Chains A and B, each alone.
Chain A
Amino acid sequence: MELKNATSVDSLHNRSVAAVACACHSIWMKRVINSLGFSFCKCVKIFCDNSSTIKLSKNPILHGRTKHIDVKFYFLCDLVKEGAVELIHCGTREQVADILTKPLKLESFTRLRDLLGVQSIKTINRLVSKCSLGEDILETSCFR
C-alpha cells in the first residue's frame, strides 16, 4: 500500500515537472508567434493525461501527498490563474507525446506518427497535385 502511494506521489510530481517545462516553452513560443504579428494565440492549451496535475493546477491545495512540490509548481498555478495556459485532460489514445516517451506497439506507433504529421512525400505529392500551385512563400539566400 505504501509503495503504491509513493508511486502516485512521484508520478504526479514527474508529470507536473513535465507540465511546467512544457508551459515555459509554450510561453516562449507564444511570444515569438505574437511578435510575428499573429494575435490568435492567447491561451495555450496543454493536453495532459494526468488528472491530478490538472486538478492541482486549478486548485492548489497542499496536503501530505503534494507537500514536496516546489516553486516550479506555483509558477504553473500562476500561469493558469493568469489565463496564459490552460491544462486540459486528454485520453491516452489522443496523447501524441506518448511517441516521445516510451517504446510503443506498432499499431499505436503508426497511429501517433500520423497524428504527429509525419507523412511520406508521396502522400504530399498526391495532395499537391489536386490543388493548383501556390505562390512562392519562402525564399532562401546564402552568402558565398
Chain B
Amino acid sequence: MLKLKKALYSLKQALKAWYSRIKGFFIKGGFEKCSYEHTLFLKHADRGKCLIINLYVDDLIYTGNDVELCEKFKESMKLEFDMSDLRKMKYFLGVEVQQSCEGIHLCQMKYAGEILERFGMGGYNPVKNPIVSGTKLIKDGGEDSENSTLFKQIIGSLMYLSVTRPDIAFVVCMLSKFMTDPKTSHMAAAKRVLRYVKRTTNLGVFYRSAENSEDDLKVYTDSDYAGDVKDKRNTFGYVFF
C-alpha cells in the first residue's frame, strides 16, 4: 500500500486540499472569511480601508479602496505562489468584462461566436426572440427522436452562455427538461435559440454604478401556474437589482 504525501491534480481530495491551503494563507494574512459565502475573503485595515477577494478555484478577483493595500497583497501573493498578474479585469472565465465609471458590462461575445461556429449555424437566418410566444413543448408528442448527444451539447453550451444572458435563461431551462429523449420540435426550439443568439451576440448584462446608494435591494418575483402541459409543473423566477 502506498501513502500519498501530497494532493495530486484531479484527485477528488485535491479541491479540499487546495482550498484549505489558500484559506490558511489568507487567514494568516489577516483576512476574514465571509460566513455567508465561502469564496469571499475580506480584510479591514484602519481608516476604513478594505480589500475584498473572490476566489474561483485558482482564479481570483480582488478589489479595494486603497492602492497601497492592493500592492502589498499582490507582492505577498507573488512571494507565496507562482502567480501571473493580469492587471485590470478584462476577461474572466470566458466572460468579457468592460469597466468604466458608468458601470460594469459583462458579455460573452467570443463564446457565443464559438458556439454558433461549433453547431454550424452559419447558414441559418437570425431571429428576434428566442421562443415564439404561446409555444407549448410536450415530452412525448409522437414525433421522431433526435440525436440526444448533440441536443445535450447545445443545451450545455447555452447554459454557460446564460450566465450573462438572462434573456435566454427561461428557454434553456425549459429545453433542458427534454434532454433524455429530445424530439424534432425540441431540437427546432434549441436551434431557434441559437438563431436568436446569432442576432444578438454582443448583448450582455450591464451593472450600472448606483447614483443613489441609499436604495434598498429590490427583487421581482413571478411564477407561471402549471405551465407544463403534461405534468402540470409550475415555473418561478426572480431577479435582483
Which positions in A face B, CB cutoff 8 Å?
Answer: 7, 10-11, 14-15, 17-19, 21-22, 25-26, 28-33, 35-38, 40-49, 90, 94-106, 109-110, 113, 116-122, 124, 127-128, 131-134, 136-144
Contact = CB atoms under 8 A, between A and B. Distances in A.
Interface in B146-194: 165-167, 169-171
Contact of B129 (A15, A95, A106, A141): A106
A101 B224 contact: yes
B197 interface: no
B121 interface: no
Contact of B208 (A28, A109, A117): A117
B58 A22 contact: no
A24 to B, nearest CB: 10
Contact of A137 (B99, B170, B224): B99
Contact of B202 (A19, A48, A121, A133): A121
Interface of B: 34-37, 40, 42, 44, 50, 52, 58-63, 70, 74, 77, 81-89, 91-92, 97-102, 104-105, 107, 109, 128-129, 131-135, 165-167, 169-171, 200, 202-208, 213-227, 234-240
B219 A46 contact: yes
B212 to A, nearest CB: 9
Contact of B219 (A26, A94, A119, A133): A26
A31 B227 CA distance: 33
B107 A101 contact: no
A2 B166 CA distance: 38
B63 A46 contact: no
Given A22-B238, A144-B83, A139 B88 contact: yes
B59 A140 contact: yes
B218 A45 contact: yes
A103 B240 CA distance: 20
Contacts of B167: 99, 109, 113, 116, 118
Given A14-B223, A117-B207, A142-B58, A103 B134 contact: yes
B58 A143 contact: yes
A41 B241 CA distance: 12
